[in-house]
Chains A and B, each alone.
Chain A
Amino acid sequence: MGKTFSEKILAKYSGKKEVVPGEIIEVTPDVAMSHDNTAAISKTFASIGVDTLYNPDIHVITLDHCVPPANATFAQNHKDIREFVKKHGIKHFYDINNGICHQVLAENGHCLPGTVMTGSDSHTTTYGAFGAFGTGVTRSETAVIMATGKIWFRVPETMKIVISGELPKGSYVKDIALHIMGKIRSDGALYRAVEYTGPTAEKFSISERMTICNLAVEMGAKVGYVPPNEIVYKYLEDRAQKEYTPIHSDPDATYDEVIEIDVNNLEPHIACPHTVDNVSTIGDVAGEPIEEVFVGTCNNARLDDLAILAHVLKGNKVNHDTRLIVIPASSRVMIDAMRLGYIDTILTAGGTLASPGCGPCMGNHLGVPATAERVLSTSNRNFKGRMGNREAEIYLASPHTAAVTALTGKISDPREVPVDWDAIASELSKATLSPVLVKA
């Protein structure tokens, strides 16, 4: 009988002939990512009582959650992490000048098909964009991986989402993800692996794969996964940290559930306060005033996202009752965006730019909303208090919806200001540092 991607990779890594859903196995990951929480993790590691890391080379550490540090406590965290990195000879360390962990790991070729990757961050499901088994673990678990190299997993059941059709203008992969979310809700994929397949998913760009896998965890998934193909292999040329062997599900694998999504007539979607699965089509909430538009985060702040934003803003001004905060996902994205003129356009239109990192996504700094304010964000989470103020409301939508909303000051249908996708694609093909439109 055929096996799914998750069953195959967990069997391989646990040294078993085969594993079945529900089984508990132990593996050694290829990569164990941690970020600003490494300060806390390092203290937990110290409490275990071993002196050296099991393998310093599997640890990838990034500083991104509050960069540059907003206060002395964050600064001390960073200092502690730098000392820990030096002491243990961790070579894969990305300081505050790089960007958001998930983007930085992708750009630096750590995300590889057929590998097991953990992260002390829930959005580690993003790595499935590259055909990796990427899943979020806890701080203590990363500390234990430091000590023993081992982590336990329950072999997940797998849900397959077959995506077909051509997205209409104004709708994006974010809208597909929000549509699925509204359909199956925040626990619709609980404990399970989610495979995004079908003719539309096969053609997803690197950026689109990352956006949809990033949101898998918001449905409760253990991993998101788009079967890797030439688009991924091409992206990894001259980038992969090591050799890799892709793993694909068998054609006759057993799925727990199969959902089919036709995107031919998909409307732009929006997640309303205060849960990600509180999803509407844009028409239902259009007109709602918005005081802050935030284009940023590991979900939607890559070069293609900034390109769409800039194309909408070009020659226009951000509404005087609205603030637009833009935080590129990484320094590479920011440099490419500067070279292509997007940053110029965004600032000229009245946007505010901050340095690459997570920004206000979880309320640390750089755009915490005031009481009773409404935010439209391109991020992945809109829980009460998420951006640092429980009396604020957060809506989630695509960068195109965010851009048009910034112009009007109220939730707006992105189709009101269409963008010339051919022109954008031609510009993006010139990007050298953070390519998103890799052609197979």
Chain B
Amino acid sequence: MDTIVKGRVWKYGDDINTDVIFPGKYTYTVSDPADMGKHAMEDLDPEFADKVQYGDVIIAGKNFGCGSSREQAAVCLKVKGVGAVIAPTYSRIYFRNGVNVGLPLITHNKVQDAFEHGDEIEIDFEKGEIRGKNGVFTFPPFNEFVFGIMNSGGLIPYTRKRLGIEE
């Protein structure tokens, strides 16, 4: 994963569910990750998939990713280049999905008021800092086990490494 993420903010509200992040009707018909990206946030923000740039960050309210266990809801953001999601809480399966696909999910409840939609943002994972026009916000390091998975690029590369399978 990138140690520094730099881009613009996409801001959303509370309880953003996986049906609006990646509509259920595509879960068995869209299997290529790049195609998943085309439907990212389709039922919430139809502009998102076209306009999001590599390094952009989603700042959302509580319980981000609630609903279905679908992994595509994390993959579709990852392949669109989303550098991180910041929310006060995540649904537990979404959090697992984020870890497992290597999409950093930062738990933070103070930045929501400090950023507007479209603001510039920089995240430093080594220092645990979120930087923007209203200052610097810190976040605690990820659990070591969890970070190991994310830093390997996700659960599958991590498992390969663990099983001693060469890339």
A residues within 8 Å of B by Cβ? 24, 36-37, 39-40, 43-44, 47-50, 65-66, 71, 73-74, 77, 120-122, 136-141, 143-144, 147-148, 152, 186-187, 190-191, 220, 222, 275, 362-364, 381, 383-386, 388, 390
Contact = CB atoms under 8 A, between A and B. Distances in A.
A39 B29 CA distance: 11
A352 B5 CA distance: 53
A122 B100 CA distance: 16
A362 B66 contact: no
A384 B43 contact: yes
A142 B44 CA distance: 29
Contact of A384 (B19, B156, B159): B19
7 contacts: A137-B96, A138-B96, A140-B154, A144-B156, A187-B63, A190-B92, A362-B24
Contact of A147 (B62, B97, B100, B163): B163
B79 to A, nearest CB: 15
Interface centre among B66, B68, B160, B162 (most CB of A within 10 A): B66
A14 B31 CA distance: 34
Given A220-B63, A386-B24, A388-B25, A122 B163 contact: no
Contact of B43 (A140, A381, A385): A385
Size band of the interface chain B makes with A: 35 or more
A186 B19 CA distance: 15
B23 A148 contact: no
Chain A at the B interface: SS class: loop
Interface centre among B25, B43, B89 (most CB of A within 10 A): B25
Interface in B77-129: 89, 91-93, 96-97, 100-101
A66 B28 contact: yes
Nearest to B15: A186
A391 to B, nearest CB: 10
B145 A152 contact: yes
B52 interface: no
Leading 9 A-B pairs by shortest Cβ distance: A362-B24, A187-B63, A383-B19, A122-B69, A363-B25, A385-B43, A49-B165, A136-B69, A139-B71
A48 B156 contact: yes
Nearest to A365: B25
B69 A190 contact: no
Contacts of B150: none
Nearest to A147: B159
Contacts of B145: 24, 152
Contact of B24 (A187, A222, A385): A385
B28 A73 contact: yes
Contacts of A388: 24-25
A186 B63 contact: yes
B136 to A, nearest CB: 27
A140 B101 contact: yes
